[in-house]
Each structure stands twice: as C-alpha cells, then as structure tokens.
Amino acid sequence: MSAVIKFFSRTQGHKKLSFVDWIAYGYLFLGFLIIFLPVAWLLLNSIKSQFLLQKLDTNLLPLDYDRVVRATVFGPEGKEIFIIKDLPDWVIYWNELRDEDKKQKNDPEAFILKFDGNEYYALRTHLGLVSKHAKELIKNKNLPEWLIKYPSMFPNAKKDYDPDTYLKGLNEEEIRLLSEFLVLKPYKPNGFTSQILVSAINPDTQEIEEYSVNRINTNKETINARLISNPQGGIVKIPSNEIIVNKKLRPSWINYSDPLTNNVRGMNFDAIKCLNNSVFVTIVATIITVLINSMAAFALSKYRFNGQIIFFIIILATLMVPASVLIVGIFKMVSVTGLSGTLWGVIIPGAATPTGVFMLRQYMLTIPDELLEAARMDAASEWSIFWRIVFPLALPAIAVLAILSIIWRWNDLILPMIAVSTTKTAYTIQLCLLDFQGEYVAQEHYRLAMTVVSLIPTTLVFVFLQRYITTGIATTGMK
Amino acid sequence: MANLELIDVKKTYDKLQVIHGIDLEISDGEFCVLVGPSGCGKSTLLRMIAGLEAITEGKIVIDGKTVNNISAAKRGLAMVFQSYALYPHMSVRQNLAFGLENLKMKKDEIDERIMQAVKLLRIEDYLKRKPGQLSGGQRQRVAIGRAIVREPSIYLFDEPLSNLDAELRVATRVELKALHERLGNTMIYVTHDQVEAMTMADKIVVINEGIVEQVGSPLNLYNKPANIFVAGFIGSPRMNFLEFESLPNDIKSFAPSNSNVFGVRPEHLYIGNEHSLKLKIKNVEQLGSDSYLYGETVSNQNLSIKLNHQTDIKVNSEIDISFEKENAHWFNKDGISI
C-alpha cells in the first residue's frame, strides 16, 4: 500500500507539484476515467432490478423508486384500469424474488384473501395463483386432464377440443378462474405493472397529488402520468422538473443468484455448463494455438528453406481477410468434417492465427542463432532445440499470445455461433448471454449480471499473467 | 583423442567462394590455432569442421572417417563460441548437463562429470546461478566446462577470449594452455589475435582470403615467414617493409637477386650506422621497459623501431638506424620470401 502511495505522490524532481506534474496526473486520471467508467457503469447496472432497467433508468446507483401497481383487469364488463397502493414490497417485487423466498417467507394465498373484486383478480394473476387454483379445480371436479395442457397448445391443436362444455356445471367464480386459465373470451391475462410513484402539483387544482408514471425522463419537459385518485381519468402531462420522487438504495442480487442457480424464469439457463464449455474451449484452444503458432514461427525464423518468404507473406496476407468473410467457409468446413455441434468445431478453426505466427517469429528472430548451434553441438535433436531452448526463451512473447488467445476465445461469439448454435449443451458463455434476449423475453438484468461474471476469468488471467509481458527474461546470457 | 584431416575443402555461398581449397592435417593432441584477419574464412572453416556449415567440396576426415554427411551432433566434437552461447534460461548446472542429457547418459554419470569439470574450472559455487548473474570470465569458464563434460575427441574454440578484458584474457590464455597440457586432447582454436596464436599454439595456420598462407610452429612462422602477408601478420609491432629501390646502396649490396621488398622487424632495429638508414622521428612512445619510435625515411616511407630500454630521443630529431644482416627479410615481386 505504501508503495502505491509513494508511486502516486511522485513529483518531477521537486517537492511541490509542478506544472508538468499537474498535466501528467491529470492525463493519468482522465485515462483512468475513460477506461474505468464504462466498467463501473456495467458493474452498477448489473445490480439494478429488472424494473429499473426496463424503465431505462439513468442513475449510476441502483436507486429504486416508491412503486405503485397499475392493474388492468379484463372481465365481462370490459377492461378496467386501476391503481393498487400500499402493497407490501414482496408483492410488488414478486417477479424478482427467488423461488425459495416466494414460498418460505410469504403466503400469497392468505394475502389475496384480504382483497376482493378486481383487485383480487389482479393479484391472483400477479402472484401466479391462477394456474395453481385452476389445476386444483380441474382435479376436484374431475374435469379432463387435457384442460391443463390446453393453454400451451398450438392454435391448430386447440380446435380439436371444446373447453366451453365443461364450464357449464361450474359457478360464476369457477368459470372466471378456469376461463382466465384457459384464456377464453372475454378474459385475457390480467395486466399488472409496477410504476413509479411521484408527487407533483396538479395543474387543475394547484394541489400536491400523487401520480403514477411509467418512466422518468428528465430530458423531456413533461411526463405522462396517471392521477392515482382518478386512474380512469387517463394520461395527463405534468412538468418534469416539479416532480418529487422517493428513492432508496436497493441492489438486486437476484440478477446474479438466479442464473447461477439455474433459476431463470422461462428458459433453461445453466450457467455452470456455459462457463464449463467456455473454460474448456479457452484452455484447449489456447494450448493448441500456442503450440501450432510457436512451431510455425520457429520454422519461419530459424530454418532456411525454399519458399520461406512466400509462406510468410501468405500467412501475413490472411490478416487482410476480414473474419466475417470466412463465416460461410468455416461453416461448411465444420459441418463437412462432422465437428458441427461439438466444442472441437469451435476450437480447431481458430487454432492458427497469423497474428500469433507473426509476433512469435519476430520475437524468435531475436534469439541468437549461436544458441541453437550450441545446442546442436550438444547433440540436441531439432525437437529438443525447439522445446528446451527456443520455447522457453520465447516465453515472454508466448505469454502475450496466450493472454490474447484467452481473451479472444473467451469473448468470441462468431465461431461458437457457426459451430454450435444448434446444440444447446455446447453453448459457450457468450452464446448463453445472447439467450437472455429472446423473441418474447428481454431479461437484461440477468444479462448484465452474467456479463460481469463472464468478465471475471479474463480479468484474473490478465492480472496474473501481465507480469510475463512486462518482465520477460531480462538477460540473454550472450556476451 | 583424434586426428583431423582436411582435404581440398571448399565453401561457396551462392556464387561467392570463401574457402578456396584448404588442405590441412592436425595430429592427435595438437593445439592448432587458425589465425587470420577478420573475414578470412577461419571461423567458417571451424564451423565446417564442427558440422554447422555444409561443405561445398572436399572432405573432412576425423580418425580416418569421412564426416561430411555426419551431423554436428554425431561428430563428437565440442565447441566454445565467441559469445559463449550459454542457455540463458538454464542454471549453470543445467547448461553443463544439457548435452549429456541429450546423449541419454545416466544421472550419476552426468553428476560425476559435472563435478569433475567444475572442480577443474573452479566454478563449484556458481552451479545454481543463471548465466546472466555471472561475470564475463565466469561465463567463459562455464562455456569451456560445457565442452569439457562432453569429453569430446576434438575441442573447437571460436575466438573465445575476444569478449574478455585484457588482464583476464592473458590469465585465461595461460589457463587454456594448462588445460590443454592436462587433457591432452586435440584443440582447434580460431583467433584474429596473433599474440594468442603465438603464445598458445603448437601449430599455427595462417589463413588469408580463404587460402592457407603458411602452416608451422610459432617461432618458425616468426623467423621464416613464407611471404609478406605472414611476415606482416605475425609479430607485434608489425614488420617494417621498404621498397627495394629506395634502399641505400650498401644495403642493396647484400640483397639476394630479384628482391622487390625489404622487411625488417622493429625489434631488430637499433641506433647505429653499420647499414645506415636515415630516419626523421615523428612520434615517441615510452612504455618504461620498452620504447617505440615512429619515423619517416628519406623516401617518405614509415618505419617503426622497438628499443628495449628508455630513450631520450626527441620528436623531429634525425637519427641513423641499423640492423643485423641475418635479420633482414627479402621478398620478390609476388611477395614470396627469398
């Protein structure tokens, strides 16, 4: 620690900070901010709740607002929009709770009994009790089993069944429950959305009143809001600079715990499997890359053979071909060789990199030929010259290539998409992250959190290997 | 233990011929020094003997066996490089063991050989160090040790002393000579420094532009140089050469016929007037034990004199110098000794 303080309090020869020191430290600080701010933004956003992310919240910290619930209930009378206030947190944040918290700490069954009418229906849908109650009803009344599967059937399959006939023997409440479950007209899934509770001056009455708003955008002059005392009155515009909002710090750790414990609603996200695949691809591919590239570089730098320059130019020329041009070719190669759907299809096509060959060749050129000749006089085979002399001496360059390869492979999205996009079990972490952005669901809160998790290994690799880049082998033993 | 024979060895790079057919015989136990100016091909010749360079034409025979197509690893020679070429990532012990491990030698024997070598070279204390942590002289010893542990039939040295400072160079020279006495192996030593050649060699091979100019013992080369090149190369300071025509008549009188160039070594000149040469002194160097005088003759040719005592001769003074008749060297038009 004292070394760090000493480092940051150095001045240019004098005791006091000089002009140059100010510029140097200022420049350092600016560079630090440019690099650090996006990372800090990512870290802080990864612990924001789904609600905040959906509202495109621009605060740096995960400050949650006071919320109210805007419910939309569909019934025979049409749809009714109303606002439920003063709900306990666990009800508002129900969808963001962990499964065990839902069951252990709370009792939704007892809770909804405190309500009646449309509020009851809205909460029943929100707390996930519709399907539970409906299944109990089907069981108790000995209704046919296919009713349970009916909501998830394809429209064509639904034609073969007629649920209406079974509704006749039921009472009004039971009909409503089953209809909501089966999504029969005029019932639709009830809407239940959290909104932000703000206070503002009512332009009509000039009194402070509470409003519910969808999102707060201070860039706009007015905000669309719904008066809580008269939700049916429709949207009114209130000036955005006069609103009063309550915020409190509420990091949403479930962003991390849910995906890591395979607890993501609506999809099978196996973080351990994804990470395992990525680790396997990264390690194996890096080993193969280092081996192939260093052997090629050894031959190009230390042997004289016909066409040496041509080979080198061809290798370098491939640098000029954009990776995206090769997608179709790689796809064909991978599928023809039967590697499609296996992790080897990700590993092998990228094993030899022109960058790596070039970098290692240039480094190996600096290893004196006399060392190789000394080894030859020492009766070393060519393989042992490579493995015991050149490879260890090229270690600083090889460490750089290894670090680059680890970062390339870990962050690679294109090769996994080409090779394994049809095989879920072979998804690497980057493909898995892509999965959070589905056609119907966007779970950005999980995606941000898992992005942070996926950054950990590359960060660690860099922290532990960077000293190889900087130190290298200081003395060459020559002269 | 082995003798070595080169038969009409030639080396050509693309179209440039650097070795023009060398015949040479080095017998068992001999300390042979290849000497010549830089770029004369002596290192190339050594590397061809080692097997590091291909032979364009001719034959290299070790112990009666032609080794042209045998790789460096299998010739059983050991080489000490100019830059030492120690493996920088290995400790001294690993450096010494590397060659033996490649020969699949047993561990006990490797240890034994290393112990012998390090005792001989007095590097026991550095076994665990890396070459980067050693001084120049210590690295030099390790490089020699790496050759010794191999127990090769012939040792090859490629200017091994050129990276040492003057004092250490003299000390190591003596040690190398002692090492040769002790081991008794054939050694081939390449240098551009004629002092090293004179002090160490049993046999000196003077090479110039890919041709052997003269082979012989050090004193033989000094006393009876075969041509102007050898005469000028061996001996320090260099032999003085004067054009025959510019000589005074009394010197011309005892010259053999066909003489074109007259040569005399600086140490054979003294102040006197038996065979008088007039000299104008341009520079005087006093070394305490010796004095060097540099001057110009009447015909504006440079001449240097080595006196083995101190002198009070001043710059710009004119003196008469002389020499013994038998110390004069005479060369014909082609530079060959008469």
Convert the pLDDT of each residue in B284-334 to its tens digit.
999 989 999 999 988 888 999 999 988 888 888 888 888 888 889 999 988
Top mean pLDDT of A10-19, A30-39, A155-164, A425-434 is at A30-39
Same domain, A210 and A312: no
Residue A279's pLDDT is what? Answer: 93
Q: Which residue is closest to B97 within chain A, CA to CA?
A: A378
Which of these ranges, A232-246, B94-108, B189-203, has the smallest mean pLDDT?
Answer: A232-246
Whether A377 and B52 lie within 8 Å, measured CB to CB: yes
Cβ under 8 Å to A: B residues 145-184: 146, 150, 163
Residue A213's pLDDT is what? Answer: 83
Same domain, A61 and A31: no
Out of A252, A277, A300, pick the residue that ends a domain: A252
Q: What CATH number is given to the structural domain containing A280?
A: 1.10.3720.10
Q: Is B105 an 8 Å CB contact of chain A?
A: no
Higher pLDDT, A104 or B312: B312
A389 Cα to chain B: minimum distance (Å): 7
Q: Is B96 an 8 Å CB contact of chain A?
A: no
Instruction: Give the pLDDT confidence of B19-39 residue by residue, as tens digits.
Output: 999 999 999 999 999 999 988
Instruction: Give the pLDDT confidence of A50-98 residue by residue, as tens digits.
Output: 888 877 777 888 888 888 888 888 877 777 888 887 787 778 777 767 6
Whether A377 and B79 lie within 8 Å, measured CB to CB: yes
Single pTM value for the model: 0.76
Instruction: Give the pLDDT confidence of A292-331 residue by residue, as tens digits.
Output: 999 999 999 999 899 888 999 998 898 888 888 889 999 9
Counting one residue from chain A and one from chain B, the pairs whose CB atoms sit within 8 A come to 89
Same domain, A107 and A199: yes
Residue A375's pLDDT is what? Answer: 93
Torsion angle of C-alpha atoms A102, A107, A111, A113, degrees rounded to 10? 130
Residue A14 has pLDDT above 70, yes or no: no
Same domain, A28 and A175: no
Instruction: Give the pLDDT confidence of B229-262 residue by residue, as tens digits.
Output: 999 999 888 999 999 888 888 888 888 888 889 9
Q: Residue A111 — very low, low, confident or very high, per pLDDT cuts 50/70/90?
A: confident
Contacts of A415 (CB under 8 A, 6+ apart): A330, A346, A349, A350
Q: Which residue is closest to B49 within chain A, CA to CA?
A: A377
Q: Is A401 an 8 Å CB contact of chain B?
A: no
Q: Is A341 an 8 Å CB contact of chain B?
A: no
Same domain, A16 and A160: no
Whether B73 and A381 lie within 8 Å, measured CB to CB: yes
Cβ under 8 Å to A: B residues 106-145: 130-133, 136, 139
The total number of structural domains that make up chain A: 3
Q: Which of A378, A383, A384 to mutate to test the interface with B (most CBs of B within 10 A)?
A: A378
Same domain, A280 and A191: no
Residue A100's pLDDT is what? Answer: 66
Higher pLDDT, A380 or A146: A380
Q: Residue A135 — very low, low, confident or very high, per pLDDT cuts 50/70/90?
A: confident
**Domain residue limits at A282:** 260-475
Average pLDDT over residues A147-166: 79
Q: How does the average pLDDT of chain B come out, rounded?
A: 90
Q: Residue A438 — very low, low, confident or very high, per pLDDT cuts 50/70/90?
A: low
Number of residues written out for chain A? 479
A386 Cα to chain B: minimum distance (Å): 13
Q: Is B94 an 8 Å CB contact of chain A?
A: no
Single out the residue of B134, B133, B84, B93 nearest to residue B117, CA to CA.
B93
Whether B163 and A479 lie within 8 Å, measured CB to CB: yes
Partner-chain residue, chosen from B71, B81, B89, that has the shortest CB–CB distance to A374: B81
Same domain, A68 and A173: yes
User: Alpha-carbon distance A202 to A362, whole Å?
Assistant: 73
Whether B99 and A478 lie within 8 Å, measured CB to CB: no
Same domain, A19 and A115: no
Residue A109's pLDDT is what? Answer: 80
B283 Cα to chain A: minimum distance (Å): 37
Residue A475's pLDDT is what? Answer: 35
B235 Cα to chain A: minimum distance (Å): 29
Q: Which residue is closest to B72 within chain A, CA to CA?
A: A377
Cβ under 8 Å to A: B residues 186-225: none
A270 Cα to chain B: minimum distance (Å): 45
Handedness of CA B224, B230, B231, B233 (dihedral sign): negative
Residue A172 has pLDDT above 70, yes or no: yes
Residue A173's pLDDT is what? Answer: 79
Instruction: Give the pLDDT confidence of B106-141 residue by residue, as tens digits.
Output: 999 999 999 999 988 888 898 999 998 998 889 999
Same domain, A8 and A119: no
Q: Which of B48, B74, B98 to mutate to test the interface with A (most CBs of A within 10 A)?
A: B98
Out of A226, A252, A278, pick the residue that ends a domain: A252
Residue A289's pLDDT is what? Answer: 95
Same domain, A153 and A125: yes
Same domain, A24 and A145: no
Residue A478 has pLDDT above 50, yes or no: no
Q: Which of A305, A371, A377, A382 to mutate to test the interface with B (most CBs of B within 10 A)?
A: A377
Same domain, A240 and A290: no
